[in-house]
Structure 1
Amino acid sequence: MAPYHIRKYRESDRTQVVDVFSQAFEEFPPLTFRHILKLPRTLVLLLGVPFALFLVSGSWLLALVASLTLLIALRFLSKYPWTAFKVMSLRTDMSDITKFYLSEPGSCFWVVEAEGQVVGMVGVLPAEERSLKPQGLSVTAQ
């Protein structure tokens, strides 16, 4: 096992960081799809709609086509949010890591190296300050 080295981001890491970031999003859609398939509502949908179509039309072919269409739609719905988030991130914070993560106090971007290759990363931004007092209410001490 290669030793890992964690260090601060350098602009020369950009290509490798974007590649690792993009590759990481390839594992989420299949996991999401499997999770969706295990939900009881999904099972009812995948079994109920084709069965109802079969009862109404009497066609096994229509029921099969409906099942396949539902599976394709669920696959698309499990992939779309991850793809949209990846594209949005590549256009915003990942487009200029130095500006977004290294210019403000309390923020940083680290990379993990193994054998001279970037294999992981983490970016940290300061949390937004929020008032603990609910809006529109006043608190008075007695």
Structure 2
Amino acid sequence: MSAFDSDTQQAALAALKSLAKRRYADIIENVRDQVVMAAMAHVRDRNIPVKLAAERCVLYALRMARVPAEDFAGSDEVLKVYVENMGGASSEKGKQVLDYQRRVLNKLAESTRELDYLSDDEDDKAAAAANAKDEDDDEDNAE
């Protein structure tokens, strides 16, 4: 993805995160390793929005974030499978994701499990609802 501008990278990572969040079993589960590898390539990006989108993508692709209860099988299981697929905990990719999980992903995952947490998707819905209410108020004032 490095050949694309940062807005495109951010949008692609956000789309992958949304798919991982909503359609994991249908779409992401079969290509999870490739999705995580692509996102891990951007978790140290200098462009902060790309870095944050990559972190969220990894979080949801590894099933560490809060997801609907019927889809949640335990945050460590998918991570363990991914590490084994990458050559185990002693491989370079395995070490990279385990280190990142220890330093960053655990904290990020915990914040998504808080009761008052609003995901970026819910923030978008709240903003759209606020804009719709403002438009309705403007129409009412115009009459």
For the criterion TM > 0.5, the same-fold answer is no
Give the strand-richer structure, 1 or 2: 1
Give the helix-richer structure, 1 or 2: 2
TM-score, length-scaled by structure 2: 0.29
Which is bigger in relative contact order (C-alpha 8 A, separation at least 6)? 1
TM-score, length-scaled by structure 1: 0.29
